[in-house]
Structure 1
Amino acid sequence: MNLSAGGGFTDRAFNNTAYVVDRLGLAIVAGEYPERTMIPLDPDLEEMFGVSRTVIREAKKTLIAKGLLVSKAKVGTRVCPASDWNMFDPDLLRWHTMQRRPEQFLAELYEVRLIVEPAAAAQVASRAQPEDHALLAAKCTALANANRRDAFAIADLEFHKLVLHLSGNRFLQSLGDLVQAALYSLLASETDSGAPQRGPADFAEVVEKHRAIVRAIEQGSPEAARAAMQAVIQSARDEMERARHDPGTGA
Structure 2
Amino acid sequence: MTSNRAAARGGITSATQTAPNRPASAQFFKSKQQPTTLVNALGLEIVSGGYEAGALLPNEAVMRETYGVSRTALREAYSKLTAKGLVVARPKVGTSVRDKRHWNMLDQDVLAWHLQSVPAADIAQDLYALRRLIEPGAAEMAAACRTDADIDLLYAAFADMRDNTSVETDLVEADFAFHVAVLTATRNPFISGFSALIRAAMISTFEVSWRGADVIKERRLEQHKAVADAIRDGDGARARNLMQDLLDDSINDVRDVLDERDQ
Q: TM-score normalised by the shorter chain: which range applies? A: 0.7 to 0.9
Q: Specify the code of the residue in structure 1 equivalent to 2:200.
A: A
Query: Is 1:155 matched up with 2:169?
Result: no
Query: Is 1:182 matched up with 2:201?
Result: yes
The residue that corresponds to 2:183 in the other structure is 164
Query: Is 1:110 matched up with 2:110?
Result: no
SS of 1:40's equivalent in the other structure is coil
CA shift for structure 1 position 139: 1.5
CA 1:110–1:56 in 2, change beyond 3 Å: closer, same or farther?
same
Q: Alpha carbon RMSD of aligned pairs, Å?
A: 2.3
SS of 2:223's equivalent in the other structure is helix
Q: Specify the code of the residue in structure 2 equivalent to 1:179.
A: I
Q: Answer yes or no: is the 8 Å Cα contact 1:94–1:185 preserved in 2.
A: no
Distance 2:91 2:44 in 1: 25
Distance 1:227 1:197 in 2: 22
Count of residues in correspondence between the two structures: 229
Deviating runs (4+, > 6 A) in structure 1?
195-199
Quick one: percent identity of the two aligned structures?
Answer: 31
SS of 1:78's equivalent in the other structure is strand
Which of 208, 215, 227 in structure 1 is aligned with 2:241?
227
CA 1:172–1:21 in 2, change beyond 3 Å: closer, same or farther?
same
The residue that corresponds to 1:237 in the other structure is 251
Q: Answer yes or no: is the 8 Å Cα contact 1:38–1:77 preserved in 2.
A: yes
CA shift for structure 1 position 213: 0.3
Q: Answer yes or no: is the 8 Å Cα contact 2:150–2:184 preserved in 1.
A: no
The residue that corresponds to 2:119 in the other structure is 101
CA shift for structure 1 position 45: 0.9
Distance 1:245 1:16 in 2: 38
Q: Is there any run of 5+ residues in structure 1 with no aligned partner, and where?
A: 1-14
Distance 1:217 1:39 in 2: 51
Show CA shifts across 1:132-158 (max 9, x none).
323212221211121223322221111
CA 1:248–1:158 in 2, change beyond 3 Å: closer, same or farther?
farther
Q: Is there any run of 5+ residues in structure 2 with no aligned partner, and where?
A: 1-32
TM-score scaled to structure 2, two decimals? Answer: 0.80
